[in-house]
Chain A
Amino acid sequence: MRPSLFTLIVYAHESPRAQYLVGMAQRVMERFPARLITIAIGDVGSGWNKEEKVLEIDGGGILCERIAFRASPEEAERLPSMIIPRLLPDLPIYLLYGADPIERLVMIDDIVTLSDRVIFDSESAHELSPFVEQALGYHREGRRDIADLNWARTEGWRHLLGEIFSSQEDILQVEAIDHIEVQYNAKESCTLNHTRLQAFYLLSWLRNQLGWQPCDVDSDAEGLSIFYSEGKRGRLIAQFRPEEPPGRIHRVAITTQTGWSYALVREAGVCEQIMFYRSAPESCYLPHHILLQQEENHTLLKEIRHQGTDVHYLQLLHSLRQIDEIIRRKDGISPLLE
């Protein structure tokens, strides 16, 4: 037995996305000694196998142990009998749930039951409301911690917005906010198709914190508009930037009824550097750089270190359901997860 801090299980259906998630997990291993167990569900009739190996880092040295299981859906019920004996006793178990929980196989429930923290990959979901129901269900049933990769990716932006609206002067403007705009990269890839989900998470978090209630949605060539009570409005704008990662947020703009405006714009080519613009009706402040917390390559790492379930994330899940229902009632609006 190698000294380890936890067991990390990555569960996904065989796909490029699954490879991407395993890559994320290996980056976690570079920081923390742990045992990595990967579960890949293959096609019907593909049988099952198990492979145990020690991963090494460049230049020698042992990274971690990796135990890889692969099974077809009809053979998957064998897997818990092989996984359970290999879980490290007395140490936390983190499950990266890289599949749609609605399509879950019965055996994964055994693994969820044992997990201390389930980190969802909402990108893998096919429909939002059922995903939300299942995520909340897991949280309620076992009182276990839940998290979400897309939610984790918005952490830097949330911290930044918290810092910006921390002075008395800016706090006074919060109640007057009436328009929020989030621009994101609509470029898709083989590992990510739901490009507006991250932007939507950020917008929903903002409106939750402001107490806005959604009333209606509309879409146009540029993006999606969400209308809230008392005339408030949110907007998701899609832009195509082939040189940047898919789904990345690159602009957040907030305006108030009192004429103040705030804009956070990611510098092209310098992903963690944000240019901050702030202006009042009678003055304009010098724009300056702020650093965004690292997103790429550190999302899972951050979620591993967090404890508990973020209350804001739970609130977000409830609000996702609301919006999803409004969208469903409208004709001509494609679902958030199209």
Chain B
Amino acid sequence: MMNSSPFSSSTTDHRILDPCVMIIFGATGDLTQRKLLPALYSAKKKGELPSRFVCCGAARREWSRDDFIDSAHEALSPSDLPSWEAFAHDLDYCPCAFTEREGYLALKSHLEQIDKQRGIGGNRLFYLATQPRYFSTIVENLKQVELLGDEKATGSWSRVIVEKPFGRDIGSATQLQSELTLSLRESQLYRIDHYLGKETAQNILAFRFANSLFENMWNHRYVRQVELTVAESIGIEGRGAFYEEQGFIRDVLQNHVIQLLTLMAMEPPMNLTAGAIQDEKVKVVKAIRPFSEEMIRKNMVRGQYQAGYIEGQEVMGYSSEEGVNPSSSVETYAAMKMFIDNWRWEGVPFYLRGGKRLPKRTTEIAITFHAPPPVLFGVNKPLSPNVLIMRIQPNEGIAFNIACKQPGPGHSLQPVKMDFQYDAFFGLPSPDAYERLLCDAMAGDKTLFAREDEVLASWELFTPLLQQSGESAPLPYSAGSWGPEAADLLLETGHKWRRP
């Protein structure tokens, strides 16, 4: 008797996913239109979705299935009719008010009908594209109507994906975790951080551990400084009410930047399983030097953008944006210096910075190496250090700056750059992060999702910082500039911020 399909190949990366229904709570919202539906559509076209799959929207609006399909069509603007028709066939909708049990009962009935019609077998992936305050309510109701079952008992799996922010601080994150785990197990909970889904973020491990050249230099003996930048040129895009509750530190630094930092700084894992990688990432977070009051004063700068120009267009300041309190003290920019107190990174400053309304959109990790002794070169003029740049987005790729001798007599040097660009080399645009993450969730692979201890360790670190920094007003900076000048004071002697 065969236990596996004789037709599945062991020589390709193609995964065969279990049939499932993906239920998106908050399906009429912005995240679904901008990110989730496009990701599913792209995965569908590539043949990466299960052969039997339905995406069922669930929200308060009393839409029909056709309404949901129309909104998807508007979001996707598909040009390929056959692909669109195949995808539309997999869309469905069921109205469900998050706080009313009747909605969940109706949803359950709807899903059971889909199971019968499509032969799906009860596998469920719930995506909570809602405000965090609904997470516990939704999960509790799903449990009560038996939509979150035990796989061993029922033979079918159910998983829940939640978006960040996972709490506002250590207290609320711990409470949220407790509430959720009353209704489901940690193994069913997938905390999404879409930065982990980016090819370039995943490539950090491949770059470090598949090449023997770099790992020997990946420590305090050779690395002078590490700079992580997450810059956006856009403002808050009309989400004033949301941003007033978050600020840049909660929205980006505490999660996305820390995720990139852990990948960059971690020890080699035992293997490439989710658990082994997450174990090493957690160790990094726990080794970050906690922020004392004095450290926060000296090593952190918060800023708020004022009116200025972005790409030649005049833009308003944060306090004039819709939904924002004119006397708001929420930061739209933050820069900080931190240290990882472990054997590998002792004494190496990690500079983190980012914000809204900066000159350009860029996310990158820049590793600056110590300059060689100024004995042969660099006697009269300091040498430019070697810098390894991992561009996470856009222009995904890796660059390495070296010094080259200029042709001719003498020993004049010129900085040159060795540059690898993903799309130029592989001939394909990188898949969207959500595309990868959704398929991973369907496959039950948690490697690229944040684990409970990782998230809580990050909140342990940032909560005192948020409490203390919230007591002072952020420094102004013009939209289109790289932030307040005070950020320069964080730097060690001889260091400077890179211009991405």
Contact = CB atoms under 8 A, between A and B. Distances in A.
A81 B359 contact: yes
Given A50-B312, A77-B309, A87 B499 contact: yes
B415 interface: yes
A79 B399 contact: no
Given A1-B421, A50-B312, A81 B381 contact: no
Binding site secondary structure of chain A: mixed
Nearest to A90: B401
A92 B389 CA distance: 16
B480 interface: yes
A48 B312 contact: yes
B233 interface: yes
A106 interface: no
B359 A84 contact: yes
Contact of A114 (B314, B380, B499): B499
A6 B395 CA distance: 18
B500 interface: yes
Contact of B419 (A1, A81, A85): A1
A307 B381 contact: yes
Nearest to A77: B309
Contacts of B406: 305
B492 interface: no
A31 to B, nearest CB: 11
Interface string B170-192: 00000000000000000000000
Interface string B305-336: 00011111110000000000000000000000
A270 interface: no
Interface string B468-500: 000000000001100000000000000000111
B417 A91 contact: yes
B387 interface: yes
Nearest to A305: B406
A57 interface: no
A307 B311 contact: no
Interface in A70-115: 77-82, 84-85, 87, 89-92, 114
Interface string B399-417: 1010000100000101111
Nearest to B500: A89
B311 A5 contact: no
Contact of A90 (B310, B387, B412): B387
A272 to B, nearest CB: 19
A81 B389 contact: no
A90 B498 contact: yes
From A1, A82, A90, A92, name the one whose CB has the most chain B CB atoms within 10 angstroms: A90
Interface string B352-367: 0000000110000000
Contacts of B416: 5, 91
A131 B312 CA distance: 30
A155 B312 CA distance: 40
A305 B312 CA distance: 32
Given A1-B419, A81-B359, A89 B395 contact: no
Interface string A13-48: 000000000000000000000000000000000001
Given A89-B500, A90-B399, A308-B381, A82 B387 contact: no
A170 B498 CA distance: 51
Given A79-B312, A90-B399, A84 B419 contact: no
A3 interface: yes
A85 B479 CA distance: 13
A82 B416 CA distance: 24
Contacts of A305: 406, 412
A85 B360 contact: yes
A92 B416 CA distance: 9
8 pairs of A and B residues whose beta carbons are closest in the complex: A85-B360, A81-B309, A81-B480, A78-B312, A84-B359, A82-B312, A85-B359, A78-B309
25 contacts: A1-B395, A1-B419, A5-B414, A50-B312, A77-B309, A78-B309, A80-B309, A81-B312, A82-B309, A82-B311, A84-B360, A84-B480, A85-B233, A85-B311, A85-B359, A87-B499, A89-B399, A90-B387, A90-B415, A90-B417, A114-B499, A307-B381, A307-B412, A308-B380, A308-B381
Given A80-B309, A305-B412, A308-B380, 14 more contacts: A1-B419, A3-B417, A3-B419, A48-B312, A81-B480, A82-B311, A85-B233, A85-B311, A85-B359, A89-B389, A90-B387, A91-B415, A305-B406, A307-B412
